[in-house]
Structure 1
Amino acid sequence: MKLKGTSPYFVRLWKPVAVMALLTLVFARMSGGAFSPPETTGPTQIVGQTLRYALPSGEFVERRFVDDRSARWKIISGPRSGETGTEQVAVRMVSAGIYFVNRVEPLGGTTRSEVYNLAARTVATYVTRPDPEDPLRRIEESSAGRLEIVAGAPERPDASVPASG
């Protein structure tokens, strides 16, 4: 079969290309049309977790996520060691076990954004604060490091197993 207005090179290639496209569609359909999600080796929920990591200043902090709007923190090293507090946060799940957490200090205007990867046990932090010498500029700091899961949310007991006692 000769297609009108086509080169011989095109005529030789259209059948293999059509077969490859058809096979791609068939295999995509057989696999459900999607790639399987990556396996996680850590917790998938951040609420209820107590995490320990270094701040950009070098101090270590423990942060417990009470719910998706608040966290309790405690500085465990450095000149502010022992300080504690509760803060309002915005927690958004990026994917299973990966969370974006943001907060703004109401008085100073410092913003702190963090990405927690619970499976890989990593945290990336990004902090901006007003520049005291130029009110139109902000000072930026960022860091990345290891994350330690100190305590997790208690596992929910299986509903099919009766409670003993």
Structure 2
Amino acid sequence: MARPEAAVQAVQAVPSVPAFAGHTYVLTLDNGAVLRNSYSADGTTLTWKALEGPMAGHSGQERLSVRAVGEGLYFVNWVEASGMTVSHVMDLRSRTVSVYWTYATPDGGRTGELHTATLQRVAS
């Protein structure tokens, strides 16, 4: 049975650009890390730099997977070249981020950490 054309178009619709796209934010995490995150105009790429904390001086550019999960609320995920995975739930309304990341341990295993952060927009 063929699907109606309108349904096919809805499935193929391009997702809207996230509200954080084209902006730069400073994230201050509960572990002392401070990150500067700059998002591309289409919201598909992140350029980040660790300004303070355990990763100070590290930086990268990441390809993002993004899903809007509410008004001003986004689930954002990426995998870094190092194998570190990072997931954010960004709440632009409350200017907070719930962060979960995983990384390899010296014994060959993996571990994860859950953090919270404040979000300050510093450039548009």
TM above 0.5? yes
**Residue 98 of structure 1 pairs with residue 73 of structure 2:** yes
Could you tell me how far 1:92 is from its partner in structure 2?
1.5
2:45 to 56, 70, 78: 70
Could you tell me how far 1:144 is from its partner in structure 2?
0.8
Match of 2:123 in 1: 151
Determine the C-alpha separation between the residues in 2 that align with 1:91 and 1:82.
26
Residue-by-residue CA offset, 1:75-107 (whole Å, 9 max, x unaligned): 22246545443221212211221111111123x
Is residue 109–residue 130 contact of structure 1 (8 Å, CA) maintained in 2? yes
Match of 1:142 in 2: 114
Unaligned residue ranges in structure 1 (runs of 5+): 1-43, 153-165
1:29-108 equivalent positions in 2, closer than 5 A: 45-55=19-29, 57-66=31-40, 67-78=42-53, 81-106=56-81, 108=82
Match of 2:4 in 1: none
Greater helix content: 1
Is residue 53–residue 145 contact of structure 1 (8 Å, CA) maintained in 2? yes
Greater strand content: 2
- Provide the identity percentage: 36
Structure 1 length as normaliser, TM-score? 0.56
Is residue 26–residue 34 contact of structure 2 (8 Å, CA) maintained in 1? yes
Structure 2 length as normaliser, TM-score? 0.72
Determine the C-alpha separation between the residues in 1 that align with 2:54 and 2:110.
24
Q: Which has the higher contact order (CA 8 A, sep 6+)?
A: 2
Unaligned residue ranges in structure 2 (runs of 5+): 1-17
Number of aligned residue pairs: 106
Match of 2:91 in 1: 117
Could you tell me how far 1:56 is from its partner in structure 2?
6.2
Residue-by-residue CA offset, 1:93-130 (whole Å, 9 max, x unaligned): 11221111111123x32111011100001001001112
Pair member with larger Rg: 1
